[in-house]
Structure formats: structure tokens, C-alpha cells
Amino acid sequence: MNTYNLLKELRLYTLTSLITEEEKEYVENCEALLLSNPFCFERTSKGHFTGSAWIVNSENSHVLLTHHKKLNKWLQLGGHADGDSHIKQVALKEAQEESGTTKIDFLLDTIFDVDIHPIPSACERHYDIIYLLQTHKDAQIIISEESHDLRWIKLEDIEQYTQERSLLRKLDKLRTFIATKRNTKLY
């Protein structure tokens, strides 16, 4: 299993202006998992990596969220690595599968967010690596079998759908990214 790529990405992420104080411990825990568990990309491991996509529309006014069937809450799109150590590609694949569109591009080459959260199932804990992506205006979305709903939500309305700390953190980051992307390089 090639863990080097993700380890390198995590270490580069710590050098960006995107990382928050809250995430620094998450990154340390992700690195520890990578170095100690050869099965960290397999869902059979109680703690394992997942890849997610924070998807913004081309006008930077809406985020695509899914109402997850099993967890019964609004979340970003994403899923299990299932043995694939290239988490960036996992995030893209999951975004395509869960949105029904292949018209998705990365807005950043770096990680956008890191989160570790408990899952009420055999998984126990997800070490989630999140990337910032964007769809084209004409991309048609389709609700997957894993979702109750899939919806473009205005940035200013996200708090009406969720109070999940990790989603609100990504919302804050997105607003900063939008405000500064013309003048400042974030990585």
C-alpha cells in the first residue's frame, strides 16, 4: 500500500493558510494512522480513510450537499477508499458517483479540509480528507441510491440545513477562498 502520497499531501497541507487550529490535531492523527495501520484504506479497519468533495458551483454561490440515507443528515459528497491510497482520486470518484456528473474539476491542488468523526456503524471512525471541487454551470445532477436528496444550497442558507461543525468550518474556508482568490495564493 502506497501511503507516501497521502502523507506528503498532509504535510503540505500543514503549510497552507487553509489549515485551522482544530485540524492540526486531525492531521497528526491521520499521519499516525498512516504510519501504524497497513489497512487504513480498507473499510474493514475500524478507523480508515475516506475521500470527500466540497463542491461549489461556478458562480461560487452554492454548495452541493447530499442528505445521506444512513446518517440522515446533510453532508458533502464522499465515501470509502476501499483500498485506494490515492484519496484525491477517491474524492473525485465519489463526487462523480454521488452527483451523477463527470463535469467536476479541482479548484485546489491541495487538501481543502481534514476531519475525523465517529460513525455509528462497524466503521467506528472516518479519517476524512476533503478537496475543493467545482462543477460547470450546465452539469446535471442525479440523486444516488445513497441519498435521500441532493441539492445546491446557497452559501447563506447552509446553516438552515446543518449545524455540523465540520461543514460550517468548510463554509468559512470557502468564503475566505472566494474573497481572497483573486489577490492571494492560498498555497
Give the burial string for 59-83 (b: 16+ CB within 10 Å, else e).
ebebbbbbbbeeeeebbbbbbbbee
- Give me the sign of the Cα torsion angle 153, 155, 161, 165: positive
What's the domain range around 58?
Answer: 4-180
Domain membership flag for residue 18: yes
Q: Are 70 and 147 in contact (CB under 8 A)?
A: no
* CATH number of the domain enclosing 161: 3.90.79.10
Give me the number of domains the chain comprises: 1
Domain membership flag for residue 185: no
Domain membership flag for residue 187: no
Domain membership flag for residue 26: yes
Domain membership flag for residue 86: yes
pLDDT for res 187? 40
Domain membership flag for residue 21: yes
Domain membership flag for residue 14: yes
- pTM for the model stands at 0.93
Domain membership flag for residue 174: yes
Q: Give, for all 187 residues of the chain, the pLDDT tens digit.
A: 578 899 999 999 999 999 999 999 999 999 999 999 999 999 999 999 999 999 999 999 999 999 998 889 999 999 999 999 999 999 999 999 999 999 999 999 999 999 999 888 778 899 999 999 999 767 889 888 888 899 999 999 999 999 999 999 999 999 999 998 755 444 4
